[in-house]
Structure 1
Amino acid sequence: MYNASGDMVGTAQLTESPDGVEVKLKLEGLTPGFHGVAVHEFAKCEGPDFKSAGNHLNPEGTEHGLMHPEGPHLGDLPNVEADSDGLVDAELMLSGGTLKEGKDSLLRGEGTSLVVMELQDDGVSQPGGNAGTRIICGEIKSGKGEEPTESPTDPTELNDTQDD
């Protein structure tokens, strides 16, 4: 997760679950108080305004807001609260989302992005909850072909090699 200056200010860990996608968010450097968070439609976090991320992920064409009777967008998430030191350590649930294939996948196409807003999302205003400026962005991509260099070795591979 990066701020408008391109500095890394935290991480987001996404995990598939039966109810959707769990998002573990750790951030620093925010103004104390509540901030809107949403998954946006493109995996492009070009600062300083992050408009390259597009709009909220909304494959069903619903209205914005977790409290809107005709909502929410698939990408709408609950607000997070930064403590008095500007730190966020939160676990959120993106209901209905998936990391698997399909129209509700966060990894479809080139991927999506996770965007944090300057202010609290009011949960009903269109199109984005009157949450102010986009201040933090992180790209959500499949990572296929980008295997971590610190992955554990498979001992059976070694055994097969010795048997030849």
Structure 2
Amino acid sequence: MAAALGAGLLALPVSALAADRLTGDLKGSDGAAHGTVEVIDAPKGVILRITATGLAPGWHGVHFHEKGSCTPPTFKSAGGHVHAHDVAKPVHGLLNANADDAGDLPNIHVDPDGTATVELYSTLVSFKGEGGRPALIDQDGSSLVIHAKPDDYQTQPIGGSGDRVACAVLTP
């Protein structure tokens, strides 16, 4: 059965297998390459894949940011977290009952050798505003930022996750 299913999938055109994707090259505050980011459109959210190198070992906060700009060394050009346009001051935190910050993501762990390979799922954003969720693809784009410290999922405005240490502009 698996062989037959596999053969059937191989017979499909490549376009039928490929999902909509956003990709980005992760760069560090030093401007050097630090890996890649891929975001895959899903029916009720997005799947995020991060392959990172050269980061400090330990836990790091990760967030979708509202602008498609990553100017080192601080990456402030990425703006704040992605959130609904009708939210003047988003409430941060996956553990906060009042949270409405759509850029929130779970922390990632970087191994002692400075590498991380992670796959996450978020129901808080969409590619183009589907399901009323904030869009990653809009006039000024979006980015993914990795922070120096872990996100505590409660502290305002960014969960105590500290400086921005890596950033990737997300492009189709």
Give yes or no for contact 1:66–1:72 (8 Å, CA) kept in 2: no
Q: Which residue of 2 aligns with 1:32?
A: 57
Between the aligned partners of 1:71 and 1:5, the Cα distance in structure 2 is 33
Give yes or no for contact 2:103–2:124 (8 Å, CA) kept in 1: no
Structure with higher Rg: it is 1
Identify the range of structure 1 (60-69 vs 128-137) with the bigger mean alpha-carbon deviation: 60-69
Q: TM-score, normalised by structure 2?
A: 0.78
Q: Which residue of 1 aligns with 2:41?
A: 16
5+ long unaligned stretches in structure 2: 1-25
Identify the range of structure 1 (111-120 vs 100-109) with the bigger mean alpha-carbon deviation: 100-109
Between the aligned partners of 2:124 and 2:81, the Cα distance in structure 1 is 14
Give yes or no for contact 1:110–1:141 (8 Å, CA) kept in 2: no
The answer to which structure has the higher helix fraction is 2
Q: TM-score, normalised by structure 1?
A: 0.82
DSSP 3-state at the match of 1:9: strand
Between the aligned partners of 2:147 and 2:128, the Cα distance in structure 1 is 27
How far 1:141 moved relative to its partner?
2.7
Please tell me the root mean square deviation across aligned C-alpha atoms, in Å: 1.4
Q: Which runs of 4+ in 1 moved over 4 A?
A: none
Between the aligned partners of 1:68 and 1:121, the Cα distance in structure 2 is 12
Identify the range of structure 1 (22-31 vs 89-98) with the bigger mean alpha-carbon deviation: 89-98
Equivalent of residue 122 in structure 1, options 152, 159, 167: 152
Between the aligned partners of 2:149 and 2:117, the Cα distance in structure 1 is 17
Q: Any residues of structure 2 matched to 1:15-164 within 5 Å, and which?
A: 15-59=40-84, 61=87, 62-101=90-129, 104-142=134-172
Paired residue type of 2:135:
S
Between the aligned partners of 2:124 and 2:30, the Cα distance in structure 1 is 32
Between the aligned partners of 2:83 and 2:51, the Cα distance in structure 1 is 25
DSSP 3-state at the match of 2:31: coil
5+ long unaligned stretches in structure 1: 143-164
Q: Aligned pair count? A: 142
Between the aligned partners of 1:101 and 1:73, the Cα distance in structure 2 is 15
How far 1:72 moved relative to its partner?
4.0
Between the aligned partners of 2:100 and 2:50, the Cα distance in structure 1 is 21
How far 1:20 moved relative to its partner?
0.5
